[in-house]
Structures are given as structure tokens and as C-alpha cells.
Amino acid sequence: MTTFIRAVAAADKASAIKRAIKGETPDKFEPTLNQFRELPGTPFAYWLGQGVRAAFKNFPPVEGQGRAVRVGLNTADDFRFLRAHWEISPHARDKKWFPLAKGGELSPFYAPLPLVINWEGEGRELKAWVVSNPADPRTTHWSRRIASSEYYLKAGMTWPLRASRFAPQPLPSGCIFSVRGYSVFLPEQSLLPGLAIFNSKPFDYFFKALLGRFGYPEFVVGALQKLPWAEPSAEQAAALSALAMEAWRLARNADTAVETSLAFVLPKALNSAAKGSSAQEMNAVQTKIDEIVFELFGLSASDKSEIEAASVFAMAEAAQPGEADEEGRAVRARKESDEDQLSLLSWAVGVAFGRFDVRLATGERVSPLEPGPFDPLPALSPGTVPTSAAAAQQSIKVNEAGHPHDLATQISEIYETIGLSMMPDIDSLRQILTQKFFASHIKMYANAGRKAPVYWQLSTASASYSIWLYLHGLDKDTFIRLEVEFLRPKVSREQRELDQLRQEAGRQPTDKQRKAIEAQENLVEELQAFLQEVKRVAPLWNPRIDDGVVLLMAPLWRLVTNQKAWQRELKVKWDELSSGKYDWSHVAMHLWPERVIPKCVTNRDIAIAHGLEDNFWFEDDDGEQKPYDNPKISVSQLIAERTSANVKAALKSLMEAPDITSAPKRVRKAKVG
């Protein structure tokens, strides 16, 4: 027999060991070899009590009897096959793009799913890409990349690989799960009680015991398959279901104020539900769940003490650094207030573009009914304007006082509509929109390495004049409208003002007049340069939203002058696009058909992406995909059909244009707008 002393959690390990030797603490263990064998894989868990070991012996494993634990797919090219849900057309949801569970951070009972995956035709393009690139170190045969596909679109639960505790959340029906979004599937009637059981302290302890570590384990599929599963009685199942539903609702409430979530209703400043739940309420629900699960697995009071002592389930709000004093609390309060104001402004921008529904704030529209935890996710959040009631979206806004599409004026009117007394004055609002909003918007609309802003600020070199575009209102005529309806009239107005200033000043202007003339000259010069850039883009602009925001914006990198970091990212993508890195994209086909179409002959995945699979590929008698020796339409004919002289001329002009964004900024002294 071997003696073990457990002093992992002790600050003074020497003293803890001495006390254990004397029998003053319960941290001295003398397990037999058979005790180790009572757990699958015989982990080195010498400290486990009899009740915990008995649970592994007396109950069946999770895997079996209609229960399954599975690993999902690995795209090996997330940039190509994944999108944020807000950067796709809602009409493509559940046809081409499907919600994806991809792990994430610890989030008990509920977590948003911000990503979608191209799963059209059961992943036809993804599977073809893997087969077309056998030498790529990221690939294996598609059957190893697309594991467990028989469970895709089924309701279950998912969790991140690494976390301080095992805490799954619902995987709604209609979703795909990834290699990092491990998932477990139970019979439908067991989903809600199962959510409670899996989020309990006893189950977390079982998992960590089998892994043999409690610090920061990896909750792998193979271990969960072997853990004990106790089927609750009808009474226990009903109680656990009600508690799981309450915990899910409490956890989800905060997400109803997160603009990028599919649960979004209203920003926090207008959303009472988002402020209603507390850590204490969640703790109370957790305690009730734990009590039922302790009973379910037949664990004794000593087992409970063992598990409670090792628990990391404390859900009380953690104190922030410096919060103990009044000054620290004040700093946090100011930070939260600033964040709330920014969220409110972002929502108001969405209302101005016809995206979010102001009637939810005024009470004219009742908030939609809450879905169930395992119901399919909606294509749009409840906070958006319903399709049936949506007005024609104004996809272009400007930063210009007095203009009918002035964004600052429209936001000010929205604030007045909802009776908001804390709105900033119009000049301050205009300054925030000009200088700060786009940077915060890019940050807000980023997830899992993807940056996908839906409101785009295009501006002159000094940002004295900005135009805002809304992603979901873009079409092939957008830049023609910018040129004809917005920029040409703007240049004409400012030129007339310049002419008038010069005329009033005469041959001997005062210092004040000279400064006004110089500022106006700078503005006109910047506007003319801005107009020239828009004219270069207009003939080749033909957006396909499936490409993703960063590739859509890449040709516009010269126009993104007010956010240098984002401009650099777009420039990198433009250079990569030009070099042929993203020939699966529609923008690549539109601009370089002579380069892309020949690739469809040898790469079936690119042919699928461009709708040319049937022209270049066929399935032989053995079920293998083979290229036609003589395609139905020749490569040369397809190139000719998809090549536009106007597009080529515009592309040449764009590629050869001087980089005006590197010129020194000359800030206009006169009023903005």
C-alpha cells in the first residue's frame, strides 16, 4: 500500500503535509490498486472517495443508448469557408450558410454562435477543396476533415475544449459543429435535463477525475464518452428541465443587448431585460441543480464535501482591480457608461440605415417571443426590422449638415423619437461619427479573427467629409450613385463657395479671408481627389456578399483614410487578391476571369465556387469526379463572355493610380460638413 498526501491547493505545502501526516486534515490517502482500476483508463486520481468511484461502476457511460459524443469538422481554411452571421445575406441562411459551433470561452448554459459555414450541398465545395489540394499540409482526405456529418443539423450541446470547468451550452438544431466545438447528442426529451446535469458540480468533478487533473483540463470527446450517466426520474427530469431553462434565460438576457448577437433586441440603455439578471440568481439556480444531481448519482454527504472543496463554480461577480475603493468603482462606472453610450449610438446608426426597429424602443412593436434553447437560430435578430414591415433601406449616408441623408441629423432625430435626454449635441455627435465611431465599429464587429464591419466610412484624406455605406444595401450601382448623386453636387457646391470667398476677398484679402480661402481650397482639392477615386472604382464595382467584408472592401482601400490599421489590412488583402490567392472569390472572377477560369479546369472546388462544375467536371461510373477532356463551353469562350473592356480599363487605372493616402493631411479649419 502506498500513502499519498494531497497538498496541491495549499499555500504552505510543508505545513499541509505535516498536518496530513498527523491526521489533522483529510488530505492523506492510502488507495489500493483496485481503486485506481475502478475508473476507465486508471487515471492517477488517488484522492477520489468511494461514492465518486462507485458512480463510474454503477452507471452506464454517456456514449450509448441513443447518446453520442462527437468531434466536428475542420475546414483547414476558415477565411474561405467561414463568415460572421451578419456579413451574409439572410436569404442564404440554411441554404448555403449554416450556423457553426466553434468552441470559444467558458459560457455555462448559453453562448451565442456568431459564425456560419459554407455547407451548401452538404459541404460540396469544402470537400472538393480538400481533394483538390492533396499536397497542402492543412488537408487530409475530406472524410477525416468532415467527421460526424450524420449528426450535423441535429440539436445537442457543445462546449469549448479548454476551460476551468465543464460547462456546455445548447447547440440549436440546424447547426454544424467544428473540431473545436465538441458536441454531445441526447434523445430529444433528455436535452434540457441533460443540459442541467452536464453543467453540475458533480459532473464537472467526474470529468476532471477521469482526466486526472483539476487545473485547466482539456474536455476531450473520448473522456466524456466514458463518464457515468444517470437517467433522471420523471420528477427529477421535470425539475432539472425547469432549472436549465431558467439558467439559459438568465445567461441569454445579457446577450439581448449585444448588437452582433442573434438574440439582440435593444441596446443596454434601452433594454431592461439585459440588466435584470444577476450572479446571485444564477448561483441559486446552480445550487438547486447540484442538489438534484448529487441525489441522482447517489452521492453521500462526504462525497459532496469532496466535490464542493474542489469546485471552481463560484459565480459571484469577480471584483475588478481597484474596485475596492470608491475611485475604482467610479472608473468602472464611467467605462460602462461610455460603452453603453457607444452601443446606443451604434444601434441608432442601424436604425438610420433601416436595419434596427425603433418601434421596439417606443413601444409601438412588442418584442418577439423568446425561442427555446434548442430551436433553430433565426436568420436575423429580433431587433431588426421585420421583412414585411421594412422600408426601403437608405444604404448611403453622408457627413454634411443640411443634407437630407446627413447621418448625424438622422441620429439626433432618432434620439428625440425615443425621448433620450442624454443625447450629445449635434456638433459633438458629428465629431464622434467622424473620428471615433468607425474604429469602435470594426472592433465590435470582429469575431474569431474575422473583422466584418457592416457600416463603412469612406472619407477624404483629412476626414473632413465622409460617406457611410451599409453592407446589406450595396449593389452594382452604389458607386455610380455616389459619384452622380453625392460627390459631383458636393464638389460643385464647395467650388461655388470657394469662388464666392475669392470674389469677396478681392485682390487684397485679410488674414482671416486668406485662411478661409486656403481651408476651402484644401477641401475642394480633397473632394476632387475623393471623387476621382470613386470614379475609378465605379466601373468595376459588382459586389457579391458571399466573398466576405474584407474582400468586398479590399478594392476600396484607398478610400478608407480615417482608419489606418484597417486600411493596411485591406491593402494586404488587395495585394493578395491581385496575386491570385483568393481566386475562389467572385471579385477575383469579375476582375481577372482570364486567370480564374483556367483554374476551374484543374480545381473542382473553384469550379463549384463559380458555378462552373457541370461545365468542367463529371462523375464517372466509379463515382469519381473527373474533368472533361472537352468542356461544354471552352475556356476561351467563357473568358470572352466574362471579360469587360470597361472593367479592365477601370482595373488598370486603379492599379496604376498614385497612392493619395500617403500624402500629408491638410486639415480644414472651417466647419466640418
- The residues near 245 (Cβ < 8 Å, ≥ 6 apart) are 192, 373
- The residues near 489 (Cβ < 8 Å, ≥ 6 apart) are none
* Sheet of strand 466-470, all strands in order from the earlier edge strand to the far edge: 396-398, 466-470, 455-459
- The residues near 479 (Cβ < 8 Å, ≥ 6 apart) are 534, 537, 538, 541
Q: What's the Rg (C-alpha) of the chain? A: 30
Question: Alpha-carbon distance 557 to 567, whole Å?
Answer: 5
| Per-position DSSP letters for 239-284, written without gaps between them | HHHHHHHHHHHHHHHGGGG-TTSTT--S-GGG-TGGGT--HHHHHH
Distance of CA 375 to the CA centre of its chain: 20
As given in the structure block, the three cell numbers for residue 533 are 477615386
Question: Alpha-carbon distance 297 to 58, whole Å?
Answer: 9
Q: How confident is the model at residue 499, as a pLDDT?
A: 94
* Alpha helix positions (H), 124-227: 124-132, 142-145, 191-198, 201-211, 221-226
Question: Alpha-carbon distance 179 to 159, whole Å?
Answer: 11
**For residues 421 and 8, which has the higher predicted lDDT (pLDDT)?**
421
As given in the structure block, the three cell numbers for residue 167 are 460547462
CA distances (Å), origin 510, targets 92, 443, 501, 513, 519: 61, 46, 11, 5, 14
Question: Alpha-carbon distance 212 to 48, whole Å?
Answer: 10
Q: pLDDT for 91-121, tens place per residue?
A: 999 999 999 999 888 999 999 999 999 999 9
- The residues near 673 (Cβ < 8 Å, ≥ 6 apart) are 399, 400, 401, 402, 403, 406, 408, 430, 465
Residue 668 has pLDDT above 70, yes or no: no
Q: How confident is the model at residue 448, as a pLDDT?
A: 85
- Terminal-to-terminal C-alpha distance of the chain: 84
Question: Alpha-carbon distance 102 to 98, whole Å?
Answer: 12
**131, 142 in Cβ contact below 8 A?**
yes
Q: pLDDT for 191-202, tens place per residue?
A: 999 999 999 999
141-149 long-range contacts (CB < 8 A, ≥24 apart) are: 145/73, 145/74, 145/75, 145/76, 146/73, 147/70, 147/71, 147/72, 147/73, 147/179, 148/70, 148/71, 148/72, 148/73, 148/177, 148/183, 149/73, 149/122, 149/123
Question: Alpha-carbon distance 415 to 423, whole Å?
Answer: 7
Neighbour count for residue 121 (Cβ, 10 Å)? 13
Q: How confident is the model at residue 314, as a pLDDT?
A: 44
- The residues near 7 (Cβ < 8 Å, ≥ 6 apart) are 13, 16, 17, 20, 27
As given in the structure block, the three cell numbers for residue 653 are 487605372
Burial of 321 by CB count in 10 Å (0-12 exposed, 13-18 middle, 19+ buried)?
Answer: exposed
Residue 420 has pLDDT above 90, yes or no: no
Question: Alpha-carbon distance 81 to 620, whole Å?
Answer: 27
CA distances (Å), origin 154, targets 146, 208, 489: 15, 27, 55
Mapped onto helix, strand or coil, the DSSP state of residue 455 is strand
Question: Alpha-carbon distance 492 to 70, whole Å?
Answer: 64
**523, 464 in Cβ contact below 8 A?**
yes
Residue 436: HSE in the Cβ half-sphere, 13 Å Cα cutoff: 12
E strand segments, 337-475: 396-398, 446-447, 450-451, 455-459, 466-470
Nearest Cα to 390, choosing from 358, 348, 355, 350? 355
Q: pLDDT for 259-269, tens place per residue?
A: 999 999 999 99
Q: pLDDT for 567-594, tens place per residue?
A: 999 999 999 999 999 999 999 999 999 9
- The residues near 420 (Cβ < 8 Å, ≥ 6 apart) are 344
Question: Alpha-carbon distance 90 to 386, whole Å?
Answer: 12
Q: pLDDT for 372-419, tens place per residue?
A: 999 999 999 999 998 755 444 579 999 999 999 999 999 999 999 998
Residue 137 has pLDDT above 60, yes or no: no
Q: pLDDT for 474-510, tens place per residue?
A: 999 999 999 999 999 999 999 999 999 999 999 889 9
Please, what is the Cα angle at 323 between 248 and 112, to 5 degrees? 25
Neighbour count for residue 360 (Cβ, 10 Å)? 23
Residue 188 has pLDDT above 70, yes or no: yes
Mapped onto helix, strand or coil, the DSSP state of residue 222 is helix
According to DSSP, the β-strands at 97-101 and 176-177 are parallel
Mean pLDDT, the chain, as a whole number?
87
Q: pLDDT for 319-378, tens place per residue?
A: 344 555 666 666 666 777 788 889 999 999 999 999 999 999 999 999 888 899 999 999
- The residues near 233 (Cβ < 8 Å, ≥ 6 apart) are none
Question: Alpha-carbon distance 236 to 292, whole Å?
Answer: 7
Q: What is the DSSP letter of 484?
A: I
**177, 104 in Cβ contact below 8 A?**
no
Question: Alpha-carbon distance 664 to 530, whole Å?
Answer: 15
Residue 439: HSE in the Cβ half-sphere, 13 Å Cα cutoff: 9
Dihedral of the alpha carbons of 623, 627, 628, 633, in degrees to the nearest 10:
120
Q: How confident is the model at residue 141, as a pLDDT?
A: 59
Q: How confident is the model at residue 549, as a pLDDT?
A: 97
As given in the structure block, the three cell numbers for residue 249 are 434565460
As given in the structure block, the three cell numbers for residue 79 are 477565411
Q: How confident is the model at residue 632, as a pLDDT?
A: 92
Q: Cell 469544402 sits at which residue?
A: 126
Element (H, E) at 185: strand 182-185
Question: Above pLDDT 90, what percent of the chain?
Answer: 68
**For residues 100 and 32, which has the higher predicted lDDT (pLDDT)?**
100
